[in-house]
Chain A
Amino acid sequence: MSMHIPSVLDPAASAKAALPDSILDTHEYANQLTLIVKPSDIVSVARYLRDTKGLIYNYLSDISSVDYYPDYNRPGRFGVCYHLYSMLYNRRLSLKVFLQEDEPVVPTLTALWEAANWLEREIYDLMGIAFEGHPDLRRVLLPEDWDGHPLRRDYPLGYETVMFSFNKDEINQHKPYAKE
């Protein structure tokens, strides 16, 4: 008796048919499909793609985020991109949500994939996007008392003037050397 593998479905067409209000747009670049999803519906879309026969996008490879500041020609300043992989059909799919500058909040995917926990914490830490319903939304890379979110494009890089022989006296005056 051989194992029965359901035949492959087209992710864009089937998701649009099943959840017409949640899929705002599709986008294809270099043979990689991206579904633009309504932020409030990301959990139901991800669950549909994970559990539907013929799709089975059962592995969350990564979550990334983008800051389009300052001149964003897009529906929102921030983008959060979920990279899914189907281990059964060996193919990939991206989901993307756009978030507004004044309230960058999106529901968490930790209920579907445990792996989303730290990925979302990293985005919260470095990009300042909050994940609603996340069980443990703390900073993961930076110290707890850090101010701001460094991967935002309006965050200062913290560059210090490089010391050469012509300006070393000036820099030595204000550099906070340890005394003891």
Chain B
Amino acid sequence: MGVVSSKMGNLGMVTTTLDEAVNWARTGAMWPLLFGLACCAIEMMSTQGSNYDLSRFGMELNRASPRQSDLIIVAGRVTRKMAPVVRQLYDQMASPKWVLSMGDCASCGGVYNNYAVVQGVDEIIPVDVYVAGCPPRPEQLIHGIMTLHEKVRGERVLERINDR
């Protein structure tokens, strides 16, 4: 943050860069999509519960509509039948949007190395952060989310606009 002009007796102004201000807003209330596929979703719910309290990071509010969410946490194995649905949910989300692949199954197929399960959700949607574990503990998911916040804070706003 920039210089606070407190010496002038005026506490109402802060100078900063546009990137920093926008990214501060984006990381401060990154609402996930209300979406879970398997047992990882149980850990995700636990992360949002009072013990781990994801609302500390402004993320306790799961939006039931992809139009209103910024982050999709793919929590569980993606079957080949579910894959088009996941892709459609991702396509319906408004930019800017991020993807977190939670657990081994979503990241690489996990133990389900067979015909029915997509071997990594990154085959259908681009993933920003992978969280290992089967299932990952809430601490691991929070670490993944912190890593994603770190990534978002490093983004340039204009680059993202030109990308999409």
Q: How far is the CA of A180 from the CA of B164 in the complex (A)?
A: 9
- Point out which of B80, B81, B115 has the most chain A C-beta atoms below 10 A from its C-beta: B115
Q: How far is the CA of A50 from the CA of B81 in the complex (A)?
A: 37
* Any B CB within 8 A of the CB of A76: no
Q: How far is the CA of A155 from the CA of B80 in the complex (A)?
A: 16
| A147-177 residues at the B interface, CB under 8 angstroms | 150, 155-160, 162-163, 175-177
Closest to B82 in A: A143
Identify A178's interface contact among B80, B114, B116, B126, CB under 8 A. Answer: B126
Interchain CB contact under 8 A, A150 and B116: yes
Residues of chain B at interface, number, CB under 8 A: 15
Interchain CB contact under 8 A, B114 and A157: yes
* Any B CB within 8 A of the CB of A74: no
Q: How far is the CA of A179 from the CA of B123 in the complex (A)?
A: 9
* Any A CB within 8 A of the CB of B48: no
Interface of A is mostly: loop
Closest to B83 in A: A143
Q: How far is the CA of A150 from the CA of B80 in the complex (A)?
A: 13
A-side residues, CB < 8 A to B, are 141-143, 150, 155-160, 162-163, 175-180
B-side residues, CB < 8 A to A, are 80-81, 108-109, 113-116, 119-120, 122-126
Sample of 20 further A-B pairs with CB below 8 A, known A177-B126, A178-B126: A142-B80, A142-B116, A143-B81, A150-B116, A156-B115, A157-B115, A158-B114, A158-B116, A159-B113, A159-B114, A160-B113, A162-B113, A175-B119, A175-B123, A176-B123, A177-B122, A177-B123, A178-B124, A178-B125, A179-B126
